[in-house]
A and B are shown apart, each in its own frame.
Chain A
Amino acid sequence: KQEVTQIPAALSVPEGENLVLNCSFTDSAIYNLQWFRQDPGKGLTSLLLIQSSQREQTSGRLNASLDKSSGRSTLYIAASQPGDSATYLCAVRFVNNNDMRFGAGTRLTVKP
């Protein structure tokens, strides 16, 4: 069964800390992996997309890595800010599957 798991479910850090969010998936046969941000009551905003042939992607203070063989991805947020507070979702597009499988998300709180 193709599943995506995110740990931890919730994370609280003081402003300025660097932090890592984890995503694991059960099948290494993937097309791509996408990280999203969701603010309360809002839709999802795409942050980074990593194709299966790539190892990492960077956008500003965000860096996402992909280790397909071990079924893991991490989202690294540098110098966290209160505005980073949101739920972060990992989604994987598995081969031979028509949709993206989502993790349950990590709810991040950055305290000023």
Chain B
Amino acid sequence: SQTIHQWPATLVQPVGSPLSLECTVEGTSNPNLYWYRQAAGRGLQLLFYSVGIGQISSEVPQNLSASRPQDRQFILSSKKLLLSDSGFYLCALSPGNRGLGANVLTFGAGSRLTVL
């Protein structure tokens, strides 16, 4: 079965510090991978998605970046955090052997980031 690991689970960082959140998946090959952010009291916002190694698409302009160095690894980064980057970051996958339109999303447990 498909499993998503996210770490760290909780992170408190000062403004201006760097960020690295990691997501790894098991039980599937060539998945589509996604980073979502959930701000307090708001819905999920897609930040990045990837259909393969080195292929990253960004949905919103921001000071965050994503990388996919391996098929089952997806990393969310920032060089300098802002207060507005606080939120709950969720990694998700969908099977890559079908088109983006037909797939079920599976989510990780999330990483809660607080920027002070």
Contact = CB atoms under 8 A, between A and B. Distances in A.
- Chain A partners chain B: yes
Interface of A: 4, 31-32, 34, 36, 41-46, 49, 51, 89, 91, 93, 95, 98-100, 102-105
Nearest to A104: B43
Interface residues of B, number: 26
Closest 5 pairs between A and B when the two form their complex, measured CB to CB: A31-B101, A99-B46, A102-B44, A44-B107, A104-B43
A95 B101 contact: yes
Contacts of A49: 104
B102 A34 contact: no
Interface of B: 6, 34, 36, 41-44, 46, 49, 57, 59, 88, 90, 92, 100-110, 112
| Interface residues of chain A: helix, strand, loop or mixed (majority) | strand
